[in-house]
Chains A and B, each alone.
Chain A
Amino acid sequence: MAPRMGGPYADAMISGNFDEHAALVALLRAQPDGLSWPEIAAELLEAGSAVEIWDRHAPAPALIDLPDEITPDSVAEDLRAWQAHGYRLLSILDDDYPVRLRGVQQAPPVIFTLGFVVADDPAVSVVGSREASAAGLTMAADLARALTARHLTVVSGLARGIDTAAHQAALDAGGRTVAIIGTGIGRVYPAENRGLQNEIANRGLVLSQFWPDATARKHTFLMRNATMSGYGLATVVIEAGETSGARAQARMAVEHGRQVILTNQVVTQNPWAQRLVGRPGVHVASSVDDVMRIVEQVVTMWDDLRRLVTP
């Protein structure tokens, strides 16, 4: 299959990538042999090629052309349409795919991005309630500024409340912020954050693991929280209730081997947070300075780990 238009895939070097991406999209749509997306991701990492996995599992071609048959050829139009919208598609096998995210078992096999991809992004998630108090919003903004001053990326989920405060403060301070969203990259939720999402796409990165036209559902937000946990070095939870995405993200971060920083207030008010205290990588902080002290230790530890194993 040869790309037939300009843009990133026009380069001969990247046309191999086009074939890889078309095979990946066909695999994820057709799910041959009943493969789940996580199973496809695991096979990709072991084989190192989507084309190889497609060839291994592809259904036998129909004798006549079926109009709805999914093949790498049939999805090529979608790849070109996404490209025309400016969406970048990254396979879990691509060099630019976020390196830490690849390390968690829920790593999405495909992501779509708008903005600047940094594979080895030193990032911290700032998450919390959609209905945050004024003090919570202030702490989220102060923390985003402190992370920016330390040249760390502020990751959040573009939701109302804590997320919006963290993204906005990072942008205002001239920092890098990444929005990991619970919809397709062609949509915005909540609608009031359309301007913020565009601003992040222009100056930072918007990342989605769903098909570009996918709408928000309860499970998409949970999946998004797993991606946020995997993407960064640590998750900081500022104000979260009993049934929040932040609570789920804190639990998943422990299961991912990521650091979790809970504010005093979150621990005081939530039995789930009290149960997390004492588990590996879980820290409690009483102030932004406290959070930053812990973040500094985490950054140092990963520098040590890098030296431990030569590539």
Chain B
Amino acid sequence: MTDQEPVSRPDLMLSAIAGGYLRNPVRATQVTCADCLTPVGGYELCFACKGHHAREGLADAIAFLTYAIAGQKSGHVMRGYKAPTPIAEHRQVVALLLLVALENHTRCAEVLARRPVTHWTVVPSLPARSSAHPLRSLVADRAKGIEVPLNAAASVHQPRASNPDHFTCSMRLPKQSHVLVIDDTWATGGHVQSASLSLRKAGATCVSVLVVARWLKEDYGDNKSFIGDLANRDYDPGICPWTSADCP
């Protein structure tokens, strides 16, 4: 990811160039979904996550680094970083988010799971695309453990549903393995949960998921007032993405 170490501290740079528009996700029972941190009006889980829970083998823990709001700069960044001609500033912001999360908070995932991270993977696009995933080059030198490549199915009926057949894992995972699954944007969670199910089939003991951004749209449910309340809550890179509070 780097050809030279930065001089400035990544968390300080992140705050300086993106603190005004990134927003730390909120974990509050019946205010946000226990799994995906989208606003829920008095329920434990949102509709999509409730659907995923019909399956065994979902992610054991899920971390989100920021909300990405459609029509605002945070949403612009999550699209621009993987545009056909990627926007350099947007790649820098996503890289900083991941750098801070992997360096400062991989340990938090290990504390929660009570076992070290042994493997990592990036969730591929669905259906399969030939080009490399834009996230992979940003995490390849930073993630702990061995890469477990996942292959996306060539065609799927419902890409947003959780289904272990959407991805195949090319290797057999050992006992006590703990896989860190990294994805860029969570809209319904189908991709990430399908990846978790595939990794379980391949033998994973524990699956922790690190998502850069939870996508939010203003014109859905009560999102507008929720987003409005975030307006002045500038980003704090010190907040643990696994707990949305202090590190465990």
Residues of A near any B CB (own CB < 8 A): 38, 42, 45-48, 93, 99-100, 102-105, 254-257, 259, 279-281, 300-301, 304-311
The yes or no answer to B87 lying at the interface (CB within 8 A) is: yes
User: B72-99: contact bitstring with A at CB < 8 Å (1 yes, 0 no)?
Assistant: 1101110110011101111111011001
Given A48-B83, A280-B16, answer yes or no on A309-B91 (Cβ-Cβ < 8 Å).
yes
The answer to whether B95 touches A309 (Cβ under 8 A) is yes
- Whole-angstrom distance from the CB of B235 to the nearest CB of chain A? 7
The residue from B3, B19, B80 contacting A307, defined by CB atoms under 8 A apart: B3
Residues from chain B with a CB closer than 8 A to the CB of A280 are 15-16, 18-20, 234-235
11 extra interchain contacts, Cβ-Cβ under 8 A, other than A256-B73, A280-B235?
A45-B79, A46-B83, A102-B87, A103-B90, A257-B17, A257-B19, A280-B20, A301-B13, A307-B6, A308-B2, A308-B6
The answer to whether A308 touches B88 (Cβ under 8 A) is no
The yes or no answer to B71 lying at the interface (CB within 8 A) is: yes
Nearest CB to that of B92 among chain A residues? A305
The answer to whether A256 touches B13 (Cβ under 8 A) is no
Residues from chain A with a CB closer than 8 A to the CB of B235 are 280
The residue from A256, A259, A309, A311 contacting B138, defined by CB atoms under 8 A apart: A309
Given A301-B8, A308-B92, answer yes or no on A46-B21 (Cβ-Cβ < 8 Å).
no
**29 residue pairs A–B, Cβ–Cβ below 8 Å:** A47-B84, A48-B83, A103-B88, A105-B72, A105-B75, A256-B20, A256-B73, A257-B19, A257-B21, A257-B89, A257-B93, A279-B20, A279-B234, A280-B18, A281-B19, A300-B7, A301-B13, A301-B16, A301-B17, A304-B6, A304-B8, A304-B13, A305-B6, A305-B17, A307-B3, A307-B4, A308-B6, A308-B10, A308-B99
The answer to whether B84 touches A42 (Cβ under 8 A) is no
A196 to B46, CA, bound (A): 58
The answer to whether A281 touches B17 (Cβ under 8 A) is yes
The residue from A42, A256, A301, A311 contacting B88, defined by CB atoms under 8 A apart: A311
Q: List the 10 shortest-distance A-B pairs measured between CB atoms, nearest first.
A: A280-B19, A48-B84, A103-B89, A254-B20, A304-B6, A105-B76, A280-B20, A307-B4, A257-B17, A257-B18
Residues of B near any A CB (own CB < 8 A): 1-4, 6-8, 10, 13, 15-21, 71-73, 75-77, 79-80, 83-85, 87-93, 95-96, 99, 138, 234-235
Residues from chain B with a CB closer than 8 A to the CB of A301 are 8, 13, 16-17
Residues from chain B with a CB closer than 8 A to the CB of A104 are 73, 76
A300 to B8, CA, bound (A): 9
Given A280-B234, A308-B96, answer yes or no on A45-B87 (Cβ-Cβ < 8 Å).
yes
A193 to B83, CA, bound (A): 40
Give the A-B pair count, Cβ closer than 8 A: 107
- Whole-angstrom distance from the CB of B129 to the nearest CB of chain A? 14
The residue from A38, A46, A300, A304 contacting B79, defined by CB atoms under 8 A apart: A46
Majority SS of interface residues in chain B?
helix
A254 to B85, CA, bound (A): 25
Nearest CB to that of B12 among chain A residues? A301
Residues from chain A with a CB closer than 8 A to the CB of B88 are 99, 103, 306, 309, 311
Nearest CB to that of A44 among chain B residues? B83
A254 to B234, CA, bound (A): 10
Nearest CB to that of A304 among chain B residues? B6
The residue from A99, A105, A300 contacting B73, defined by CB atoms under 8 A apart: A105
Given A279-B20, A304-B8, A307-B6, answer yes or no on A255-B73 (Cβ-Cβ < 8 Å).
yes
A45 to B8, CA, bound (A): 30
Residues from chain B with a CB closer than 8 A to the CB of A47 are 84
- Of A45, A104, A300, A308, the most chain B CB neighbours within 10 A belong to A308
Residues from chain A with a CB closer than 8 A to the CB of B85 are 48, 93
- Whole-angstrom distance from the CB of A155 to the nearest CB of chain B? 17
A213 to B87, CA, bound (A): 31
- Of A38, A254, A256, the most chain B CB neighbours within 10 A belong to A256
Nearest CB to that of A251 among chain B residues? B20
Residues from chain A with a CB closer than 8 A to the CB of B99 are 308
- Whole-angstrom distance from the CB of A231 to the nearest CB of chain B? 12
A309 to B2, CA, bound (A): 6
The residue from A256, A259, A304 contacting B21, defined by CB atoms under 8 A apart: A256
Residues from chain B with a CB closer than 8 A to the CB of A99 are 88-89
- Of B75, B88, B138, the most chain A CB neighbours within 10 A belong to B88
Given A45-B87, A48-B84, A100-B89, answer yes or no on A309-B1 (Cβ-Cβ < 8 Å).
yes
Nearest CB to that of B3 among chain A residues? A310
A297 to B138, CA, bound (A): 25
Nearest CB to that of A49 among chain B residues? B84
- Whole-angstrom distance from the CB of B234 to the nearest CB of chain A? 5
A14 to B1, CA, bound (A): 35
The answer to whether A103 touches B83 (Cβ under 8 A) is no
Residues from chain B with a CB closer than 8 A to the CB of A255 are 20-21, 72-73
Residues from chain B with a CB closer than 8 A to the CB of A45 are 79-80, 83, 87
- Whole-angstrom distance from the CB of B9 to the nearest CB of chain A? 10
A18 to B172, CA, bound (A): 54
- Whole-angstrom distance from the CB of B98 to the nearest CB of chain A? 10
A311 to B79, CA, bound (A): 16
